[in-house]
Structure 1
Amino acid sequence: MEQLVALPFHNGTILLSYADDLALLVTGRGNKLRKAQQALDIISGKCEDLVLKISAEKSRAMMVRAADPAGQLCVQGVGPAWANSYQYLGVWVDKWLSFTAHVAHLRERAQARLNVMRAMTRLTAGTTFSVLRLYFVLSVRSLVDYSAPVLTSLSRSQQERLEVLQNTAMRTMLEAPRWTSACVMQNETRLMPLTTRVEQIVACRMAEGLAHRRLRLAMTQGNDLRHHTLMAVARMSEPGGAIYYIDGSVDPESGRTGAAAITAETELLERTPDYCFTLQTELVAIHLGLEHTQNREEATVVLHTDSRTAWQVLQQPRPSSNVGLVTAILGSLQSLTAQGRRVRLHWMPSHVGVRGNESADVAARRAAGAPPPPRDQTLPTGR
């Protein structure tokens, strides 16, 4: 398959391969039908050299956002039929790229699995909330995750239909009445809206691809370009938002601890009690940033942290440790959500050259060096 993908095609002609499934894309100006036929002839010739057979009977052709041409393509003597929609790798693609057929297919599959979920709540089954949530994440939400790249182009009405699936699942998990708001259920189940999750998945995939390309170039051209590349990756998902870099610090020898959250305009420091755990200082730093942004006006708030543990703790549906501190953070998140604002918590590796992250590390160590807080001072708790 690698040899087929590497064949010399005209500009605008790309051959995609996944296992033994091939997709030929022809774009750009000129006679696309002729370019497609030339590419098919090249592929057919190479397949003969490799003793491979193309399943021409199963192949289909599609003219995207245009009427079907009068001509006919030919693959090894067989003319593939022109199709208005076709399922490729589990995704229904239509010629107008509306993905309406795929949304209908997705809802049908998800509804069947939600019926199983309802059956699990019967008295004879007695399934717990944690099991129901896990079932939803693995069997229902995974369908949306897989389709995320195509779901970003959906209309608002189509997106709302998808949200109904998760709202139904949340009501089943919580045994909540129909009048319970989606925001309350999302807070209780620790599930973000599906549209938000789709945006995050696509942004992460784009960032990964962009980061790999830019970092390969940056590593060969000096630290300045490397820094600008990493900063661009850190900022690319939410341009124009309020961006915070947060970090905590623990001195293992003296037991001094501190937390810091910095933005382009402000540096927030807090001397935490001695002998706090690293996780606690990281959570305090997150709380600092969230409390500071309460008086800002940006619609989106982005917090970059290098603590994967803190990120994971805040994802738990029922925290078992640092409950007061986690509750305080969740209260700040709920307050921002009530204002119609969105909060993004992004993890990034530490000490990779991002100045914001490095500055937060220095600031946290400086906070740990400040005079100790009063003996009666405790970590933040929920209101």
Structure 2
Amino acid sequence: MKITVEKSCSVVFSRYKKESDNLNLKIYGNRIVSQKEIKFLGIKFDSKLNFNILVDKIKERCNNRLNIIKILSNKKWGLNQNTLGNLYKSLVGSILDYSFPCLNSFSENNIKKLQAIQNTAVRSILKLKYDTPSNIVHHEAFNKLKLLKVSNRLFELSERYVGTGLSHSIPVVIRLVKEYKEGFESRYIEYPTPLCNCYLTISSFFPET
């Protein structure tokens, strides 16, 4: 396998600016470009790993599709709430779901931005007033559309991913969980990752002795 220099780049991930930001890395004698962000498997990683750029991109993509939900929510289309809810899950929810591995790195403000997208859709589908309190919107979304809050949904996906990996004995998942479990308490406080959300799932496969 040969690495393509033109398609390669380097990114220094750090919350602090360091002199190593501009590393002189070379492949086959050619210097590779240093960047502040990189896109991998559809997810944009910024150098500070706060995912602000990713969340803004998610908002842009979702807002374009929200217009479809708003139009189809008009009574003249004759679509019921269940159909509109399923359309939301397919058109918008799928975009939010794809970001679940980054959950623990999202700031509270970014989570609120994602939740606002869902709230807008729910208000359109259920014909709720714009000033309806968020707690009522969340309650109605779950009762009538079976929609969890965005943070709870991402949490659920994290647990499901880890649980499925462990139940099918996926080597890389088992190895990561075992290594992580050795220092779980300290990592939970200082280095949050998606595995932090899965303590109960992990414990069911690796019971305390």
Q: TM-score range by the shorter chain?
A: 0.7 to 0.9
1:184 equivalent in structure 2: 139
1:62 equivalent in structure 2: 11
Q: Distance in 2 between matches of 1:214 and 1:147?
A: 21
Q: CA deviation at 1:177?
A: 1.0
Q: CA deviation at 1:114?
A: 0.4
Q: Distance in 2 between matches of 1:190 and 1:161?
A: 20
Q: Distance in 2 between matches of 1:235 and 1:150?
A: 17
Task: Tell me the secondary structure at the aligned position of residue 176 of structure 1.
Answer: coil
1:236 equivalent in structure 2: 200
User: CA contact under 8 A between 1:152 and 1:199: conserved in structure 2?
Assistant: no
User: CA contact under 8 A between 1:57 and 1:78: conserved in structure 2?
Assistant: no
Higher relative contact order (CA 8 A, sep 6+): 2
Answer yes or no: is 1:80 the counterpart of 2:32. Answer: yes
1:354 equivalent in structure 2: none
Answer yes or no: is 1:202 the counterpart of 2:158. Answer: yes
Q: CA deviation at 1:189?
A: 1.8
User: CA contact under 8 A between 1:62 and 1:83: conserved in structure 2?
Assistant: yes
Task: Tell me the secondary structure at the aligned position of residue 130 of structure 1.
Answer: helix
Q: TM-score, normalised by structure 2?
A: 0.72
Larger strand fraction of residues? 1
Q: CA deviation at 1:68?
A: 5.3
User: CA contact under 8 A between 1:171 and 1:185: conserved in structure 2?
Assistant: no
Answer yes or no: is 1:139 the counterpart of 2:91. Answer: yes
Q: Distance in 2 between matches of 1:127 and 1:86?
A: 41
Q: Per the alignment, do residues 235 and 105 of structure 1 end up closer, same or farther by CA in structure 2, a change over 3 Å counting? A: closer
Q: Per the alignment, do residues 124 and 77 of structure 1 end up closer, same or farther by CA in structure 2, a change over 3 Å counting? A: farther
Q: Per the alignment, do residues 68 and 91 of structure 1 end up closer, same or farther by CA in structure 2, a change over 3 Å counting? A: farther
Q: TM-score, normalised by structure 1?
A: 0.41
User: CA contact under 8 A between 2:9 and 2:32: conserved in structure 1?
Assistant: yes
Q: Distance in 1 between matches of 2:169 and 2:103?
A: 25
Q: Distance in 1 between matches of 2:37 and 2:199?
A: 37
Q: Distance in 2 between matches of 1:144 and 1:79?
A: 36
Q: Please list every run of 5 or more consecutive structure 2 residues that lacks an aligned counterpart in the other structure.
A: 175-197, 204-209
Q: Per the alignment, do residues 199 and 124 of structure 1 end up closer, same or farther by CA in structure 2, a change over 3 Å counting? A: same
1:357 equivalent in structure 2: none
Query: How big is each residue's C-alpha offset from its partner over 1:249-271, in whole Å with a ceiling of 9 and x where there is no partner?
Result: xxxxxxxxxxxxxxxxxxxxxxx
Q: CA deviation at 1:123?
A: 5.0
User: CA contact under 8 A between 2:123 and 2:137: conserved in structure 1?
Assistant: no
Q: Distance in 2 between matches of 1:235 and 1:193?
A: 20
Task: Tell me the secondary structure at the aligned position of residue 87 of structure 1.
Answer: strand
Q: Per the alignment, do residues 141 and 97 of structure 1 end up closer, same or farther by CA in structure 2, a change over 3 Å counting? A: same
Answer yes or no: is 1:161 the counterpart of 2:90. Answer: no
1:93 equivalent in structure 2: 45
Q: Per the alignment, do residues 124 and 64 of structure 1 end up closer, same or farther by CA in structure 2, a change over 3 Å counting? A: same
Larger helix fraction of residues? 2
Q: Please list every run of 5 or more consecutive structure 1 residues that lacks an aligned counterpart in the other structure.
A: 1-46, 48-52, 218-233, 240-383
For this pair of structures, how many residues does the alignment match?
173
User: CA contact under 8 A between 2:70 and 2:124: conserved in structure 1?
Assistant: yes
User: CA contact under 8 A between 2:24 and 2:31: conserved in structure 1?
Assistant: yes
Answer yes or no: is 1:125 the counterpart of 2:77. Answer: yes
Q: Distance in 1 between matches of 2:8 and 2:84?
A: 40
Q: Distance in 2 between matches of 1:152 and 1:146?
A: 14
2:123 equivalent in structure 1: 171
User: CA contact under 8 A between 1:60 and 1:83: conserved in structure 2?
Assistant: yes
User: CA contact under 8 A between 2:82 and 2:145: conserved in structure 1?
Assistant: no
Task: Tell me the secondary structure at the aligned position of residue 63 of structure 1.
Answer: coil
Q: Per the alignment, do residues 71 and 162 of structure 1 end up closer, same or farther by CA in structure 2, a change over 3 Å counting? A: closer
- Over the aligned positions, Cα root-mean-square deviation in angstroms equals 2.9
Percentage of matched positions with identical amino acids: 25
User: CA contact under 8 A between 1:152 and 1:198: conserved in structure 2?
Assistant: no
Q: CA deviation at 1:144?
A: 1.2
Alignment of 1:278-297 (within 5 A): none
Q: CA deviation at 1:175?
A: 0.9
